[in-house]
Amino acid sequence: MGKNAFRQLVALGAGLLFGAGLAVSQVTNPQKVLDFFDFAGHWDPSLALTFGGALLVTFFAFRPARSGRASGKGPALGGTYALPTKSDIDGSLLGGAALFGVGWGLVGLCVGPAVAALAFGEPKIYIFVAAMLCGTVLTKFAQTKSINRLKT
């Protein structure tokens, strides 16, 4: 097996593990997420453990990535770390975060869990993912128009 095929196999395994984790923790269940956000009604705090675990893993995973990037060392399977370089807080970041939060709070799905939930075959998930993809395309189109307007 070649190095690239091995990398693809590891990526597939990581994606399957991530998707399984989302399903087991029920983050792919919109009602479970909506109940987590419903502080005034039927609040279900169980997802706090999932989110806390995710923060813990991220905290420890980003440390070696940041130090590896600074020292010139790349990931174990080759390539480079794709860490964000932008650190300023601007209107696009705030607007995007607000839109993400409102959407997540209204529907109970965000990008990763929505894609993982496609495996369950529910039509409403397909509709959500289609709308999400349309929003992505429209955003890219609007950004391109905005950039072209600035250039002229």
pLDDT digits (tens, 9 = 90+) for 73-114: 777 777 777 777 888 999 888 988 998 899 898 999 988 899
Alpha helices in the chain (DSSP H): 3-24, 30-37, 47-71, 91-107, 111-117, 123-151
CA–CA separation, 76 and 99 (whole Å): 36
pLDDT digits (tens), the chain, 152 positions? 777 888 899 989 999 999 999 999 999 999 999 999 998 988 999 999 999 998 998 888 877 777 766 566 777 777 777 777 888 999 888 988 998 899 898 999 988 899 999 998 999 999 999 999 998 899 888 888 776 676 66
Contact of 68 with 74, CB cutoff 8 Å: yes
The token duo for 6 is 């091995």
Q: What per-residue confidence (pLDDT) applies to 9?
A: 93
> Residue ranges of the domains in the chain?
3-151
pTM above 0.85, yes or no: no
Q: What per-residue confidence (pLDDT) applies to 150?
A: 65
Q: What per-residue confidence (pLDDT) applies to 70?
A: 59
